[in-house]
Amino acid sequence: MARPTTDRAGAPVVTRLAPTECLALLERARVGRVALTIDAMPNVRSVVFALVDRSIVLRVAPGSRLHRAATGAVVAFQCDHYDDVGREGWSVVAQGMGHEVADPATLQVCHQLPLDPWSEPPLEDRFLQIPIVVLSGEHVLWPDAAPTGGAGPAGVTATTSPLPPPS
């Protein structure tokens, strides 16, 4: 890990992660988010994924909006974890160009991956591969002196009241 950074007492301590640390965290995780453009609008989709040879691999339904929008497009992938008890977490962001897996040997590997569908299982399996071109990550530790009793990162307190309707 790189040297931690903080600018004031009580602020979270943020440590930049080395690429090898980012890859190790991605290898342990199973759920992340793909950020891409769908119909000219920014969109984020939760996905089940696996890391294979420095590539993010997703199971997609043929012709789905995710499949169409990510194939041949530059996308971002983000994965994170937050531990309430330890008051620490990490986030990793990867970027690359999505493409459908067509190579028979790679497809055979993909069929063996634990890629349960996020929604209704597709009738036919297709796999999207995002070779990682840009990779970054950080570890964040919130000091023990930070407020407790429902307060999360940056002192944000959860509420049970519903959001007001849009105006």
How sure is the predictor about 162, in pLDDT bands with cuts at 50, 70 and 90?
very low
Residue 119 in this model has a pLDDT that exceeds 80? no
Domain that holds residue 56: 13-144
Domain count of the fold of the chain = 1
Report yes or no on 158 lying in a domain: no
CATH number at residue 59: 2.30.110.10
Residue 8 in this model has a pLDDT that exceeds 90? no
The model carries a pTM of 0.78
Render pLDDT for 121-135 as a digit per residue (tens, 0 to 9): 667 889 999 999 999
How sure is the predictor about 52, in pLDDT bands with cuts at 50, 70 and 90?
very high
Q: Which residues lie below 8 Å from residue 139, measured CB to CB, with a gap of 6+?
A: 1, 14, 15, 17, 88, 89, 90
Q: How far apart are CA 70 and CA 91, in angstroms?
A: 22
